[in-house]
Structure 1
Amino acid sequence: MKRSVLTPLIVACALFMENTDSTVIATSLPAIAGDIGVSPIALKLALTSYMVSLAVFIPISGWMADRFGARTVFRLAMVVFMAGSLACGMANSLEGFVMARFLQGMGGAMMVPVGRLVLLRTVPKTELVSALAYLTIPALVGPVVGPPLGGFITTWFNWRWIFLINIPIGIIGVILASIFIENVREEDVAPLDVPGFLLAGSGLATLMLAFSSGGGHLISPPLAIGLGGLGVALLGLYLAHSRRVATPVLKLSLLRINTFRVSVYSGSLFRIGAGAIPFLLPLMLQAGFGMTPAHSGMITFVSAVGALFTKTLATRILRRFGFRSVLGFNLVLASAFVASYGLFTATTPLAVMLGTLFLGGCLRSMQFTAFNAIAYADIEPKDMSFATSLYAVAQQLSLAVGVALGAAALQVSALLRCGQPDAIAAQDFMPAFLCVGVVSALGVLLIPSLAPNAGAEMSGHVSRRKVRDSAGDGTARRATAEAVQQHPRAGEG
């Protein structure tokens, strides 16, 4: 088999392992919690720690590939991911499991963008389009396969196998990468903004640890408040530092561009609601309704099927109605569906539940696709790498906030109902879904600031007038397409 075919297959398999693993765990949280002796709500830290790790390390993954070689970093990413998987499978405490997930996130942060760089630098341009298509498969198929797989393994075997099966897959990937992937690197690499990375990374990590530890899980409330203050201070120092360096690790000045700013701010609010679903929904079905993990997984995966279905329609919808109309109307509708999941009960007909989840998945996928595309509509090609890094950080942090907020709403409801924040019951999920749904809908307030023709040359919606397609515009669109391809779970988060 040709190297140009094997290389994208190797990269796609590694990314499939990462994408599937991140969706499998949500179905298994109640079983994991019971095994290590903690409340299921406490395992919100296992989800948020992984996402925060992605947010911290994604911005430097491209620099590492340029400096040390794409093959070297890609193999290292798989080794780190395997080490994290092994640690997860052997964890017997909340602290150990959270740290193992953070280690897994370090590997995942490097696998996604570095895998894309491997293709861009090793595959002939004539075969690049088909090669990049392989990278969309893990993002689309992983969320479909993950929940049923996680439910099956947890119900009929043991949740630890969810992580241990990554080891042989990763070993094969390292061997194949060593044989078939070239170790391409850049000759002239700009120095890494080390102070900026340390300030931003430690600030984000401590702030999210403080927020996610609400309810006294892992650390005490006074310590959480102290860490929150420290995180805010570190991020303030990074803001001052970023204005003094030419190549900051996160280029915040890009937020002056309206389409990018709206996509980041409005998209983050929307993703808070979407990010809570993988945590709240399986927990409601299992802890609230008494379903097995297998039964739960066979229900929750329907949302991902809806997302796959929408991929065939997104381009035509945007061409017909334009970004501003789609983003505004669809955001309200998708947020309403998020809130509606709280109306499910143990007696809700299965057909109603599946239909609601399918339509909700369609609407969220449409919103993600529109946000991810318009974010780069007015970004200059020279700033694309900075834009993708900043956007990826905002994406992962908002998903983590969604998990933490959903858990906090559950605890508040349980506290008001029975005085015990961890004694969750089925009736506590309605206010939790309503809370994250309302936060998600708040993003609509920023959509009117978009121009009526915002992103018109990307969507094709140009109000009956011909759009010029100059060479510069074509270059910008190609750069935009590459930026979206670089995105972790592009179009799905």
Structure 2
Amino acid sequence: MSVSVPPRLVVSAVFVASMFMNIMDATVVNVALPTLSRHFAVPVASVSGVVSAYLVTLAVAMPASGWIGDRFGARRVMLVAIGLFTAASALCGVATSLPELIAFRAVQGFGGGLLIPVGMAMLFRTFPPAERIRANRLLIVPTLMAPALGPVIGGLLVDGLSWRWIFYINLPVGVAALVFGALFMPGGSEHRPGRFDLPGFLLAGFGFPLFMFGLSTGASSGWGSPSVLGTGVAGALLLVLFVLVELRVGEPMLRLRIYSDRLFRVTNLQLTFAGAGFVGTLFLVPLFLQNGLGFSALHSGLSTFPEALGGMAGVQVTTRLYKRVGPRRLMVAGMCGTVVTIAGMGFAGPGDAAWLIPVLMFCTGCSFGFAMSPSQAAGMATVSAAQTGQASTLLNTLRQAGGAAGVALLATVLGATRPGPVDLAGYRMAFAAAACLMAFGVLFSALVHDADAAPTMADGPGDLGGQPVPEAA
């Protein structure tokens, strides 16, 4: 007798598990870099290739993911991406040299670059607009939990077992998601992607990695260094050319004209600045606690973890208010909350940081979840099902760049001010910069028109067991 599993439950479970694995992997690896440096007997600067290789291939795959998902079917691409990411994780765990590890991380990045945009497109196609605020209860889980859990789990694995386990931990999650998806994930209609845009792919394939590399290494290598200037400027010029080409060709790889949709454009900008401030804060707080105040790595990780609990609480509240209040006021309130709490972290000191930072991280997570859930639910309200794959790719590509820019900005502030255990002024300036990024999120939240998001505010069946819309996969 065949087992029938509700399609929405299958898509939700596979996507959340895959996204959690993908996001946590990035934060876990950062904790292990000093250990990898000692294991392979190379300088810390050399093991940065383990991170940059992942980011480069992620940046290559992500812009093309919308076309690939439409061309070969989102279900098929999602399963291949999960298999690729999981297999690469296993290979990273058995790597015997640093070049091997970097190569396997590059494969992992390619799988990760396909996972999130294609999976998000499936999720939004599975849930009709009226149910998307409920879907965001699921979507927000990996976004908030994985970055908070990564440093804690990474520290425990590296100290208690081996650096190899930061990759092995992906295997049970990946295998379970792959098997469950292969057995129960529904098929669906494929959307005509048009001809493959080779010029656009080449421009994006070189432009995004070069720009992201320059952005992510500028603070550590110096913004005036030849490598940063060369890669950053070259990447920016290629991306400008990419935009010009994409606006002229009949069948572009990225349909940038989707940004003419007011609601999609404004929510994307809000998500980009909010993501920059959020990821930048998650980067800043451990440095402040460990280097500035002398906390241990585990104590630091436990101090940031309340952010995830706050995020879960914020999502529960905003989900219940959304259809009565609309997205704009919820987004503005949530973003204002993040401005206040992140700015407040700059006033923490040796005498109160042990309790004040966890409290403010909880409040930051609560405010961030309060703002992000309605933003993500409303963002694609006016995007057609056929363009959902492209819209998801645009959203995730811009958000990835925003996160990298947030980290680069705060790292630059720290590099310029050189704060230490005695002088915490540089950290205070960095927290102020993160709060300013969130303030831009407030501005774009205020530009949202609730009437544009009306389809997501209609009454719907509200359960995970309903049938998907025709374009589910």
User: Is 1:431–2:429 an aligned residue pair?
Assistant: yes
Counterparts in 2 of 1:379 and 1:132: CA distance versus 1, 3 Å: closer
Q: Read off the aligned partner of 1:323 and give its amino acid letter.
A: P
Q: What is the match of residue 268 of structure 1? A: 272
Q: How far apart in 1 are the matches of 2:231 and 2:70?
A: 34
Corresponding residue for 1:490? none
CA shift in 2, pair 1:426/1:448, >3 Å: closer
Question: What displacement does 1:172 show?
Answer: 6.1
Deviation of the 1:273 alpha carbon: 0.9
SS of 1:455's equivalent in the other structure is helix
Of residues 74, 77, 82, the one that matches 1:73 is 77
Q: Deviations over 1:278-310 (max 9, x none)?
A: 222223333333333322222211101111111
Partner of residue 62 from structure 2, selected from 58, 66, 71: 58
Displacement of 1:353: 2.2
Quick one: which of 159, 163, 167 aligns to 1:159?
A: 163
How many angstroms apart in 1 are the aligned matches of 2:329 and 2:123?
A: 35
Q: Shift of the alpha carbon at 1:68?
A: 4.1
Distance across 1 between alignment mates of 2:409 and 2:31: 19
Q: How far did 1:261 drift?
A: 1.9
Does residue 1:300 correspond to 2:301, yes or no?
no
Equivalent in the alignment of 2:379 = 375
Matches of 2:383 and 2:71, distance apart in 1: 25
Quick check: 377-386 or 449-458, which moved more?
449-458
Question: Gaps spanning 5+ residues in structure 1: where?
Answer: 461-468, 475-480, 487-493
The superposition leaves residues 15-38 of structure 1 with CA deviations (integer Å, 9 ceiling, x where unpaired) of 443243234345556655676765
Aligned-partner SS, 1:248: coil
2:5 counterpart SS class: helix
Q: Judging changes above 3 Å, is the alpha-carbon distance between structure 1 residues 172 and 274 closer, same or farther for their aligned structure 2 residues?
A: closer
| TM-score normalized by the length of structure 1 | 0.76
1:463 alignment partner in structure 2: none
Does structure 1 retain, via aligned residues, the 8 Å contact 2:211–2:231? yes
Instruction: Quote the residue 1:240 is aligned against.
Output: 244
Cα distance change of structure 1 residues 411 and 187 upon mapping to structure 2, 3 Å threshold: closer
Instruction: Please report how far the alpha carbon of residue 256 of structure 1 lies from its aligned counterpart in structure 2 after TM superposition.
Output: 2.2
In the other structure, the counterpart of 1:4 is 5
Match of 2:360 in 1: 356
Q: How does 1:211-250 map to 2 (within 5 A)?
A: 211-215=215-219, 217=221, 221-250=225-254
Q: Which residue of 2 aligns with 1:464?
A: none
Structure 2: distance between partners of 1:444 and 1:224:
31
Q: Does the CA contact (< 8 Å) of 1:305 and 1:361 recur in 2?
A: yes
- Bigger mean CA deviation after superposition, 238-247 or 138-147: 138-147
User: Using the alignment, how far apart are the partners of 1:322 and 1:337 within structure 2?
Assistant: 24
CA pair 43-171 structure 1, distance change in 2 beyond 3 A: same
Cα offsets for 1:92-138 (capped at 9, x unmatched): 76x88776554422212223344567789999xxxx99999877665
Aligned position for 2:438 = 440
The answer to whether the 8 Å contact 1:276/1:399 transfers is: yes
Counterparts of 1:17-96 in structure 2, within 5 Å, are 17-28=21-32, 50=54, 53-68=57-72, 72-82=76-86, 84-86=88-90, 89=93, 90=95
Q: Is the 8 A contact 2:18 2:177 kept in 1?
A: yes
Alignment counterpart, residue 408 of structure 2, candidates 388, 404, 410: 404
Q: Show CA shifts across 1:177-210 (max 9, x none).
A: 6666688784965322222122123212111211
- What RMSD in Å do the two structures reach over aligned CA positions? 4.3
- CA distance, structure 1, for counterparts of residue 15 and residue 328 of structure 2: 35
Q: List per-residue Cα deviations over 1:418-460 (Å, max 9, x = no partner).
A: 9xxxx99865422222222223313334444444755355347
Q: Shift of residue 76 of structure 1?
A: 3.3
Alpha-carbon deviation of 1:362?
Answer: 0.5
Residues 180/316 of structure 1: CA separation in 2 closer, same or farther (3 Å cut): closer
Contact in 1 for aligned 2:5/2:184 (Cα 8 Å): no
Helix, strand or coil for the counterpart of 2:331? Answer: helix
Q: Between Structure 1 and Structure 2, how many residues are aligned?
A: 455
Distance 1:79 1:218 in 2: 38
For normalisation by structure 2, the TM-score amounts to 0.78
Matches of 1:35 and 1:347 in 2, distance apart?
37
Mark the CA change 1:258 to 1:38 in structure 2 (over 3 Å): closer, same or farther: farther
Which one is further off, 185-194 or 437-446?
A: 185-194
Q: Choose 187-196 or 221-230, whichever is displaced more.
A: 187-196
Structure 1 residue 364: Cα displacement: 1.0
Identical columns (%): 29
Classify the secondary structure of the residue corresponding to 2:298.
helix
What is the one-letter code of the residue matched to 1:201? G
For residues 452 and 114 of structure 1, the distance between their equivalents in structure 2, rounded to whole angstroms, comes to 27
